[in-house]
Structure 1
Amino acid sequence: MSGTGFWTPVFDIEKRGDGSILMRQNDPLTDHRPTLADALDHWAETAPDRPFLARRAPGGGDWRRISYGAARAAARAMGASLLTLGLGPDRPLLILSENSLEHALLGLACTCVGIPFAPVSPAYSLVSKDHRKLREIARTLRPGAVNADDPEAFAPALAALAARGRHVISNEDGPGRIGLETLRGGDPAGAEEARAGVGPETIVKYLFTSGSTGAPKAVINTHSMICANQAMVRDCYRFVAERPPVVLDWAPWNHTAGGNKVFYLVMTNGGTFYIDDGRPVSGRFDETLRNLREIACTWYFNVPLGYDLLVEALEGEPALAEMFFRDLGMMFYAGAGMSQITWDRLRAVARRTAGREVLLATGLGATETAPFALACTEVQERAGNVGVPARGLTLKLVPQGGKLEARLKGPTITPGYKGDPAKTAEAFDEEGFYKLGDALRPADPEDFTKGFFFDGRMAENFKLTSGTWVPVGAVRAALVDAMGGLVRDAVIVGENAPELGALLILSEAGAAMAPEAREAALAERLAAAARAATGSASRVRRALVLTEPPSFERGEVTEKGSLNQRQMRGNNAEAIMTLYDGGPGVLTF
């Protein structure tokens, strides 16, 4: 897969007698700096005045910028202060706050002196009522300090975490808490000895999986993992090394996509990271559009829902489209499947505005893979190709239940989960390959170098009463596409039933329609989709619109907006019963 500014990989593919397949690039991973602290030092010394981090002032004012030189100076001073508070390898920093300049500097401070930090979802503090997951996280980490930028908003969470010897760090000094300006007063010389001890296997951070079916797992992230991962990124997206990247991004840093791939893509290549306070939801996306009118990105990330909103604005505002595509090297999406309608519209507006094809692509990875693992850089006519394995990784495809289960081995794979040797052992196979839990389908069964399509989570798939396996991911994506924008997402059901059904989550356009007109439109599209399906494992025969939105608290939806299919099925047993009993609102075909 190749294109201007991208890789041209050559592969070795081994087919084993047991049906498994190994795929790796022939060329070894390129040399790279051993630690993230080395990367920060490099740019602070070679481009000290270049803007590194930026965020609008409170209230939506002008951009506040921090240069590489200033970021390193603050990180050293703050790191020294954290050490004097007793933080260290066994007493990490727990960060409850959302993305901010202060959050970034605290993370850098920890990175430079060998203190692990753990950014966790603000929703665990601000949305959750019982703070169960937050308390589980604290029990796993035993943090020496907790950061909450707004102590009033986070007061219930801080109360749930109350423990002797645990410092509270906020933006300003106050009763029982330490302000960032106080931390900035630390003696940088106090950080030098600790900095010298930071090496490739030093733990940078713990990133927590969602834990929708149990306590969240603390995924260990080391310097060597992340630095090797960024070497893979540079090899794939070669244009980011040729010109310092400019990125505007909202993705939460408690998630591996935002906190690892995007943040360190900018830092390790000497670019500028603009923190976007907009979100891909109605009422908050206007802030993203305001920022995009000012910032010409070279690399852009969003979730499919964000692109649904963005393409509307790009089509209706030529000046915005001109700015958006002016310097853009590529558009990347993850977190869920993109509808073909949005895919086609984005490509069309890019060609119309830029006079060229702007790569629109996705990939595949996990928190345990740091996360970059598979990537697609060849222009595609249809959405969904997750690409091929990065340099330095070996992809193992194992036949399981009629599918190919994906497993990975290489320098970017986590050594395991903190405090959970049993889960760590379960995550790897007998050859040391990490089990992604995802199934892949080759774009061309005769040529794996053409990439792969996501073929569902192994744990989400189920059987009909006929014994036929249902590829939930593929069925869901096809059904949402067939709904023509009326549906935002769908839960595929039918485990141990004779036929498939779907619980539909309406889009804003679908919700705005009059009920009678909406029911008729849905029935027409669902019937057409059923006629086009090729068998019982892909043909949805009945559907019901959900009246309650998916809940983060119940583990049904992630911050990126993607659904946990299995959790949604478990939590909507009554609706599924209605669906198959033929109750009110059920559409059948």
Structure 2
Amino acid sequence: MTPMKFRPLTFGVTRVTLRDGAPGVHYLQADQALEPYPERMTDRLRHWAQTVPGRSFVARRIKLADGSLGDWRHVSYGETWQTARNIAQGLIERGLSAERPVVILSENSIEHALLSLGCLIAGVPFVQTSPAYSLISTDYEKLRHVIRTVTPGMLFASDAARYGKALQAVASEDMEVVLLEGELAGRPSTSFAALAATAETPAVDAAMAATGPDTITKFLFTSGSTKLPKAVINTQRMWCANQQQMAQSMPVLTEAPPVLVDWLPWNHTFGGNHNVGMVLYHGGTLYIDDGKPTPALMHETLRNLREIAPTVYFNVPTGFEAIALAMKTDSQLRKTLLSQVRMFFYAGASLAQPVWDSLYESEELEIGERIVMATGLGMTESGPFGLYVTSPNVQAGDLGVPTPGMQVKLVDLQGKTEIRYRGPNITPGYWRAPQETAEAFDEEGFFCSGDAVKWIDETDIHKGLKFDGRIAEDFKLATGTFVSVGPLRARITAAGAPYIQDVVLTGINLKEVGAMVFPTPAVRRLSGLPAGTSMHDVLDSPPVLAHFQQVLNELAKTATGSANRIARLCLLADPPTIERGEVTDKGSINQRAVLTHRADTVNKLHADELHYILKPQA
């Protein structure tokens, strides 16, 4: 069989070293050392402002009066540096600090970026919160928790009309409110323009010089699956070391200034640390994508990708699925997106093989070769970059090998192997949470990730590791048999593609494994029903039920026992919600939150009390 041709891509780490520790413990690391890196990310911003001041750092489409989006507004490195210094002066004058940081409520924007960089220069941590905490939540519980945890001195939001209620609910009198647009009724606020117009003084250079590797850059909150979110401390060392680790693992980043077209939210480490940091570190350009992999907003992402050619492209599986579908018929999308891109990269969930195959088909049609679909493993506490694949022949679930400078500890635990991290990219802990911090690290100082892994090929450790689920998600049936949730969810999603968005497994302390399926919008086409039909009726339609019955039957043929046999399945018409923590801003499902909030559905599924319950047929 002729090997498939890929667009050339160098893999920086292809060999590892492994040593044994105590029984059931092994240590794994890259065979190359971490090279020197800057003390602070602002060193890189200053470098690019001095050497390529006219190069565009960030761009975003201008919002027109009718709400539509127009041409791109660009801000250069020179403009960014000067405006960020002005903002830094304003923060210094206000006496803000780690004890009184800046909380940002809004979505990705040019002003959001400028304020963040002003904070970096001034040595004042910033806190990027999920816009959903302000715009979707009705009780503002998570936003109040953020405010209580970090005690900010300043709150920033893009406009009073959208964020006013949240600000009025959480802002105390000693918190200054900064707004890009509008004013709040009954309380004073500062315009972003006024903050950005503060005249800098020598205090700015003094403040930046006072920052160093241990300076806190930001607090990033975890998703909070079972408890309220924790504030992960991010330092200059973490961010800079992680960017150097990425550069050595992904040499493509060093070959030319990266161009990104990116929607990933900055309140998540993937978008805010990984991607924004990548652009800053290498002097690239970030096009802020106001689209999102949802039916209502995906058209904007596709529009941007028809116009702007990224050099590397990052997304979650649902985004790649929509792009794969569009590329089948959209020649302009294929032409632009595939013209310069050297690497695709997905994270957040498993990418179904049919999506992979569809992307490859379009790539071969357009450019005569495939684009490497890379991936890895990381988390907020690891900066996030931790593991990265070692070859173009990536399979669903592959994670790869550790990045240089980070040591991995593999620990046999509950019949699985947990991966733990130690290195300069690992957080020192959680802000104002000493007990949670102590519980997160083992006796050797390794961060306990809760992720389970196993070897891609036990005969060749240099191929690295693959994902084996989240240990905390796994559960036992009443028989005492463990159910490995992650791999089983991936099997179901792949078997039901392109009609399964995600799956939540049920059956804790019961006799059988059940599955609650969140379908994709594609089921509407499958049903054959007219547009506007309710999702409940769509899921009750004979074509949809017949399809999922067939999926269930096929899965049953390959099941080897009760732990991986889906004995009952139901389709959920109501999508997971951000407000209840069932899904994150970037689309990752939260298994525990879904089980908690839909406990009645779980009970009825296993009691045969739902309207439609599918079971395997012989």
Q: TM class by shorter-chain length? A: over 0.9
2:353 pairs, out of 340, 344, 350, with 340
Alignment RMSD (CA, Å): 1.4
SS at match of 1:537: helix
Per-residue CA distance 1:510-552 (angstroms, 9 max, x = gap): 2441511211121111111111222221111111112322121
Amino acid at match of 1:273: L
- What are the superposed Cα offsets for residues 334-353 of structure 1, whole Å, 9 maximum, x if unpaired? 11111111011112222332
Distance 1:8 1:422, change over 3 A: closer
Q: Which residue of structure 2 aligns with residue 322 of structure 1?
A: 335
User: Greater shift after overlay, 58-67 or 447-456?
Assistant: 447-456
2-structure distance, mates of 1:16, 1:96: 45
Q: Structure 1: give runs of 5+ residues left out of the alignment.
A: none
* Residue in 1 that maps onto 2:462: 449
Shift of 1:34: 1.1
Counterpart selection for 1:160 from 162, 169, 183? 169
Pairwise CA distance, 1:191: 1.3
User: Are residues 1:73 and 2:73 paired?
Assistant: no
1:504 aligned onto 2:504: no
- Residue 306 of structure 1: aligned partner: 319
Tell me the CA shift for residue 120 of structure 1.
0.3
What amino acid does structure 2 have at the position aligned with 1:579? Answer: L
Q: 1:531 aligns with which of 540, 553, 557?
A: 557
* 1:18 maps onto 2:44 in alignment: no
Match in the other structure for 1:214: 227
Q: Does 1:519 align with 2:532?
A: no
Deviation at 1:415, TM superposition (A): 0.4
Q: How many Å apart are 1:381 and its aligned residue?
A: 5.4
1:187 aligned residue (189, 199, 202): 199
Alignment of 1:468-507 (within 5 A): 468-507=481-520
Distance in 2 between residues matched to 1:134 and 1:319, nearest whole Å: 42
In structure 2, what is the Cα distance between the partners aligned to 1:12 and 1:441?
Answer: 16
User: Within 2, Cα distance between the matches of 1:351 and 1:451?
Assistant: 28
Counterpart CA distance in 2 for 1:140 and 1:569 is: 27
1:197 aligns with 2:223: no
Shift, 1:43, TM fit: 0.4
What is aligned with 1:53?
A: 58
SS where residue 498 of structure 1 aligns? coil
Partner of 2:125: 116
Alignment coverage as a number of residue pairs: 588
Look up the equivalent residue of 1:587 and give its one-letter code. L
Matching residue within 244, 263, 269 for 1:256:
269
Higher mean alpha-carbon deviation, 381-390 vs 169-178, is at: 169-178
The equivalent position to 1:105 in structure 2, one of 84, 89, 114, is 114
Q: Secondary structure at the match of 2:174?
A: coil
CA distance in 2, matches of 1:324, 1:377: 24
Q: CA deviation at 1:173?
A: 7.1
Which stretch shifts more, 221-230 or 4-13? Answer: 4-13
Structure 1 pair 173/548, CA: closer, same or farther in 2 (3 Å)? closer
Query: For 1:159, what is the secondary structure of its paired residue?
Result: helix
Deviation at 1:62, TM superposition (A): 1.0
TM-score (norm 1): 0.97
| CA distance in structure 2 between the partners assigned to 1:172 and 1:575 by the alignment | 43
Q: Verify the 8 A CA contact 1:343 1:383 in the aligned structure 2.
A: no
1:87 Cα deviation after fit = 1.4
- Which letter does structure 2 place at the counterpart of 1:559? D
Deviation, 1:172, is 4.3
1:559 to 571, 580, 585: 585
Q: Is the 8 A contact 1:12 1:24 kept in 2?
A: yes
Corresponding residue number in structure 1 for 2:3: none
Whether 2:433 is the aligned partner of 1:420: answer yes
Partner Cα separation in structure 2 for residue 436 and residue 226 of structure 1: 19
Query: Which residue in the other structure is 1:146 paired with?
Result: 155
CA distance in 2, matches of 1:254, 1:585: 39
| Equivalent residue, structure 2, for 1:29 | 34
The question of whether the paired residues in 2 share the 8 Å contact of 1:170 and 1:179 is answered with yes
8 Å Cα contact 1:504-1:543 kept in structure 2: yes
| Counterpart secondary structure, 2:301 | helix
1:586 maps to 613
CA contact 2:222–2:231 (8 Å) conserved in 1: yes
2: distance between equivalents of 1:423 and 1:275? 35
Per-residue CA deviations over 1:265-306 (Å, capped at 9, x if unaligned) read 011100000000011100211111111111110010111001
Matched residue SS, 1:587: coil
Alpha-carbon separation, structure 2, partners of 1:571 and 1:187: 51
Cα distance change of structure 1 residues 464 and 72 upon mapping to structure 2, 3 Å threshold: same
| Conserved? CA contact 2:30–2:401, under 8 Å | no
Which letter does structure 2 place at the counterpart of 1:142? T
The residue matched to 1:251 in structure 2 has which SS?
coil
- Which stretches in structure 2 are left out of the alignment for 5+ residues? 1-6, 528-537
Question: In 2, distance between residues paired with 1:220 and 1:112?
Answer: 17
Q: Aligned pair in 2 of structure 1 residues 172, 43: CA closer, same or farther (>3 Å)?
A: same
2:47 maps to which residue?
42
- Distance across 2 between alignment mates of 1:182 and 1:22: 53
- The amino acid of 1:219's aligned partner reads V
